Amino acid sequence: MATTLTGRPMSILSKGYSRHKDVRRTNIMVAMLISEVVKTMLGPKGVNKMLVTETGEVVITNDGKTLLDKMKVTHPISKILIDVAKTQDTIAGDGTKTVVILAAELLKEAGKLLNQKIHPTVIIKGYDEATKRTLEILDGITIHVSIEEEETLKKVARTVMGGRIGADLQNHLADLIVIAVKHVAEEKMGEIIVDVEHVGFIKKAGGSVNDSELVGGLVISKGKPHPRMPGKIEDAKIALLGCSLDPLTRKTTDWRKEYVIKKPEQLKGFIDMEKEFNKGIVEHVKRAGARVLFCRKRISESIINCFAEEGVLALDLVGEKDMLRLEKATGGKIVSNVDDLTENDLGDAGLVELRKIAGDEMLFINRCKDPKATTMLIRGGTEHVIEEVERVVKDSLKAVAVTVESGKIIAGGGAIEMEVAGKLRDFSRTFKGREQLAIEAFAVAMEVIPKTLAANSGLDPIDVLIKLRTGHANGCTHLGINAIEREVEDVMKRGLVDAFKVKQHAIKSASETAAIILRVDDFIAATNQKEIKEEEKRKESERKRIMDEQVRKVLEKEEELKEIDKRFMEKIKHPETI
């Protein structure tokens, strides 16, 4: 609101506008509500959530990113937290619940300081100093690990899996994950790079999760295009084509080539020419040494028949991602013209075979010499089980990948958060201004992780917090919560380790998100020209409806006017009577 020269109030932002006190209070409340939903899922003893969509689809999950992604929210702050969780999942693979809980707790502690008349700018500055110090503390207590330390990498994978999967299955899947990461890891400019996109996933219901396996190559959901083609080839040479092998007809919606046949002799000559042409293509592929061919585009039926006669397994319309993974797995090169195919372009696979999985035929390209792409075949009793196992495996895979890239691990079980909280309290005393209170608030917020782990494990959070504070004050850096055994102990000795990058990114993102939300002091409903025009149309339609309603009411009251209106309408329907 504002005032005119006459002193009368004038509305400037009459709709969709709130002042800062209400806005900050509401923002913190919304963040806390989102956090409360996620908190009970944290740790190996965390519970599952059942999501039911409008279409009746049911999803049962313990994955934070999946829950937040499918939640139906409208408030802008909740959308910001969901975006932060998605970014955390993309960058680190794990820590989506942690980043949301930390961000909300930082806002909660900031709310207490706001009630003490401490300005948001001071809080943000204190949080920024605390974040810098926290990252320094993390760097000082990390443990270095190499790609050859498989047992340590398996511990990282098992920690991510937590209580979502049983212990026996954890060991089986962790073995597969570490092998997959080692396959796709590449050294570039002195650094190890792990592209998890080179690990494919095939899901098939039926059987047990223990039946899941890692293929040192690819699995393609395709069967034999011709019954006479071989179903199993050992020591296979593989050709990869990016061009079409349908030379005489171009099968598009735009046009087709037409051949005018006037005499029977022309038809016979045309058929013979086509056979010779097709035979030439197949012979060229065989001369190069290929016994298996994958084509990105279409292969004509006649050429498929020729390949079958020559004992070559040929598949067309292979997906682009599969072609790139085949290139990485077999060491072959994708050739854009079949005439350019040579022996040097071929890839290798120890075994190419067709297998039936749960009644469906699938092609396995396995036992490649040095595969830089692999495929995880995930099995399970039901679709719900398979979906959840896939989410768990992908999170663990990403966490192991970032661990290999950074070469660092860190203690789990809330140990790091307690260590950081204690050192931040000491650090806060070096400040003389009000920033000291903000740094102390940051330290309190860090303790929400062990408190939540304790609560979800059935332990008393206050008792656990006292034990942890005492232990860390006495120099027990790795003292944390073993949620499985419901004990406070040295979690590093128990093998409860986290990827360094997961914690690092979660703390940075949570702090930055809290700062962004604290800077918001006004809530203004913004719109664009399209929305303005739509609103004007809606108002005009509403005005017309009101006018029509008023006319209708008048006509109902005045019988004479109704009769005139009736006669008038009749004349409109029958203009010849006018």
The 10s digit of each residue's pLDDT in 384-423 is: 888 888 888 888 898 899 999 888 999 888 899 999 999 9
φ, ψ for residue 61, nearest 5 deg:
-150, 155
**226 — phi, psi (to 5°)?**
-145, 135
Tell me the C-alpha distance between 136 and 12, whole Å.
48
- Give me the numbers of helices (H) and strands (E) for the chain, helices first please: 19, 23
145: region left, alpha or beta (phi > 0 left; psi from -120 to 50 alpha): beta
Q: How many CB atoms lie within 10 A of CB 372?
A: 17
| Fold classified for 217-370 | GroEL (3.50.7)
Q: What's the pLDDT at 567? A: 66
134 confidence band (pLDDT: 50, 70, 90): very high
Contact indicator for 178, 153 with CB cutoff of 8 Å: yes
Query: ∠ CA 94-100-102 to the nearest 5 degrees?
Result: 100
**Strand-pair category, 334-335 with 232-241:** parallel
Spatial distance between the Cα atoms of 375 and 319, rounded to a whole number of angstroms: 15
58-82 confidence digits (pLDDT tens): 878 877 778 888 887 778 888 889 8
CATH class of the domain whose range is 15-145+410-518: mainly alpha
Cα-flanking dihedrals φ and ψ of residue 366, to 5°? -125, 170
Supply the pLDDT for residue 77: 87
Give, for 300, the enclosing helix (H) or strand (E).
none
**What is the SS3 assignment for 483?**
coil
The single-letter code of the amino acid at 77 is I
Where residue 9 falls among pLDDT bands split at 50, 70, 90? very low
Alpha helices in 186-263 (DSSP H): none
What is the predicted pLDDT for the residue at 452?
92
State yes or no: pLDDT of 56 exceeds 80. no
Question: Quick one: average pLDDT of 204-230?
Answer: 84
How far lies 321's CA from each of 199, 200, 225, 317, 331, in Å? 11, 9, 20, 12, 15
Question: CA geometry: angle at 401 spanning 396 and 404, to 5°?
Answer: 125
- The residues with which 199 forms a beta bridge, in sequence order, are 374
> Would you kindly state where each structural domain of the chain is located, as residue ranges?
15-145+410-518, 217-370, 548-578
Which of 98, 105, 96 shows the shortest CA–CA distance to 32? 105
Q: How far separated are the first and last CA of the chain, in Å rounded?
A: 59
d(CA 69, CA 57): 15
Give the pLDDT confidence score for residue 447 in this predicted structure.
92
List own/partner pairs for 568-575 with CB under 8 A and 24 or more apart.
none
The pLDDT tens digits of the residues spanning 278-315 come to: 788 888 888 888 888 998 888 888 888 888 888 888 88
DSSP 344: G
pLDDT, position 555: 59
Q: What is the pTM of this model?
A: 0.76
**Positive or negative CA dihedral for 278, 284, 286, 291?**
negative
Q: Which residues contact 574 (CB under 8 A, 6 or more apart)?
A: none
203-220: average pLDDT: 84
DSSP 197: G
Mean pLDDT, residues 459-485? 90
pLDDT band at 48 (very low <50, low <70, confident <90, very high): confident
Distance separating alpha carbons of residues 491 and 64, to the nearest angstrom: 23
Mean pLDDT value across the chain: 82
Q: What is the largest CA-CA distance in the chain?
A: 106
Are the C-beta atoms of residues 224 and 361 closer than 8 Å to each other?
yes
pLDDT at 19 over 60: no
d(CA 120, CA 124): 6
Please give the structure tokens belonging to residue 458: 């059935």
Pairing of strands 143-144, 408-411: antiparallel
Average pLDDT over every residue of 350-364:
85
